[in-house]
Structure 1
Amino acid sequence: MKNIIYKIGLIPETSDIIEVYNSSGIKRPTAESERITKMYANSNLIISAWSDSELIGISRAITDYCYACYLSDLAVKEEYQKEGIGKRLIEMTKREIGNETALILLSAPLAMEYYPKIGFEEIKNGFIIKRSK
């Protein structure tokens, strides 16, 4: 296995993010590169995983660093999945936000069994108004 480097605060090229999303299985509006760019420009905690100069994983969150953190995206290229990269991205997110901040996410249906395995607790007290586009 190659040496994986993690970077905090760097916004990768939009085309690289789209490549990770498309490979990972996460459903995002990857045909709309301007929208992906805007998603990252308006997020305040981005952690990326790199193998040499190749972006292979990314997490994107919005947080106040003292009470709540919404982990909006967690994606790892398919060929790098099941190597602990997603788990490491979450560990680094938790370290950055600190112990007094709750880490919250909405799971894709295919990942519902993954999150409890890495320490997340399922909650039943959430609500959503879904996007129309």
Structure 2
Amino acid sequence: MEYKVDDRGLDAAIFLPFVNRIWPGEYDRDRTQSALSKTMNITAYDGERLVGCLRILSDGCYFGTITELLVLPAYQKRGIGSRLLQLARENAPTMLYFGAQPGLEAFYEKNGCQRSLQSYVIEPEGRD
């Protein structure tokens, strides 16, 4: 397994087929590329195949958030997500806050993450 910290080569053409195996959806390629360019992307590759990705959005000084931690289902339970979290801890410029999907709390706690603030969502008005 090859891990890359701040993977600037991560392209929407590679990321979208990967993410659709985990969170199927209609994602816009240009918007996805723009989003990838604004985050620190920590990736895991099995040869040429993207199998895991953790994205960090940060102001560089005070606040950072993990926007997502994704591992292909066939590669889960192999330590890839744990390694991505470790690399995030070692390389993030700030403390990281994030929400966890229900049922995954034990995974994060096993990896040294502490429960913190409850999260809320504000949806933008008039956005499709």
Does TM-score exceed 0.5, indicating one fold? yes
Deviation for aligned residue 1:79 = 0.8
TM-score using structure 1 length: 0.78
Deviation for aligned residue 1:130 = 3.0
Give the Cα–Cα distance (whole angstroms) in 2 for the partners of residues 16 and 128 of structure 1: 28
Amino acid at match of 1:8: V
Is residue 2:84 matched to residue 1:86?
Answer: no
TM-score using structure 2 length: 0.81
How many residue pairs match? The answer is: 125
Residue of structure 1 aligned with 2:30, choices 31, 34, 39? 34
Q: Is the 8 A contact 1:20 1:77 kept in 2?
A: yes
Unmatched tracts of structure 2, length 5 or more: none
Amino acid at match of 2:13: S
Q: Is the 8 A contact 2:10 2:36 kept in 1?
A: no
Give the SS at the match of 1:109. Answer: coil
Deviation for aligned residue 1:125 = 4.7
Unmatched tracts of structure 1, length 5 or more: none
Between 69-78 and 108-117, the greater mean CA deviation after superposition: 108-117
Structure-to-structure mapping, 1:95-114, within 5 angstroms:
95-97=90-92, 101-114=94-107
CA deviation map 1:91-129 (0-9, x unaligned):
11111125xx32111223353442222222222454431
- Spell out structure 1 runs of 4+ moving beyond 6 A: none
Give the Cα–Cα distance (whole angstroms) in 2 for the partners of residues 28 and 106 of structure 1: 20
1:21 alignment counterpart: 19
Amino acid at match of 2:67: S
Residue of structure 2 aligned with 1:48, choices 13, 33, 43? 43
CA deviation map 1:56-112 (0-9, x unaligned):
1111111234432111011111111111111111111111125xx321112233534
Give the SS at the match of 1:87. Answer: helix
